[in-house]
Amino acid sequence: MFRIASVIPVALLAAACVPETGPATAPPANAPPQVQEAPLTVPRNKAVVYFYRPANFVGSANIYRIAINGAAIADIRSGTRYAAVTAPGTVQIAARTQANFLNIGLAHAMMEKPDLTLSTKGGTVTYVRITTGFAGGPKLQLVPEETARPELPKLGQAATVTPEG
C-alpha cells in the first residue's frame, strides 16, 4: 500500500509536465498586448531624447533621476524607458542616484553624477542608454538608433517625476 501511495503523486506530477499537443490556441482574452515600437514621429519644432536602461541585476536596486535643463522628468529603474519631448537646441541632462537603504553614506557620495550636453535638432530623436557605473551610479551613453531600437520593446515605462516629487 505504501508503494502505491507514493507512486501516484509522482505519476500525476509527471503527467502535468507533459506538453499539450494539438492545434495552437489563441492567447486568452485577458493576455497583455504585445508591445510593438512604432517609429516615433517628431514635429519639426520639437526634439525627443529617449532614455532607456536595459534590465540588469547589477545596480538594479538603484533608481536614477533624470533631469533636463534642471527640471527632473523621470525616475529610471532597471528595465525601463522614457521619451522626453523638448525644444530643439542645447539640452543639459543630469542623472543622479536616488538615495536608498543600500547606498547611503560614502557609497552614495562616491557614485558617478554624470552630466551630458546635447545639441538637438527639430524633428529628431536622440537615444541615451543608461547603465550602472562606478559604485552603482548612473552612466550615460549616446547610442545610434539601430542599437537602441531593438532594446526598447523589452522595457517598461519609467515613472514620471511630478513637480512636488
Name the DSSP class of 39: P
Domains of the chain, earliest start first: 41-160 (2.60.40)
pLDDT, tens digit (0-9, with 9 covering 90-100), for 76-85: 998 999 999 9
What share of the chain in percent tops pLDDT 90?
36
pLDDT, tens digit (0-9, with 9 covering 90-100), for 95-123: 888 766 555 554 555 555 678 999 999 99
pLDDT, tens digit (0-9, with 9 covering 90-100), for 135-149: 677 889 999 999 999
Name the DSSP class of 22: S
Phi, psi of 145, rounded to the nearest 5 degrees: -55, -40
Are residues 115 and 92 in contact, defined by beta-carbon separation less than 8 angstroms? yes
pTM higher than the cut 0.75: no
Are residues 161 and 86 in contact, defined by beta-carbon separation less than 8 angstroms? no
* Lowest-confidence region among 11-25, 35-49, 102-116: 11-25
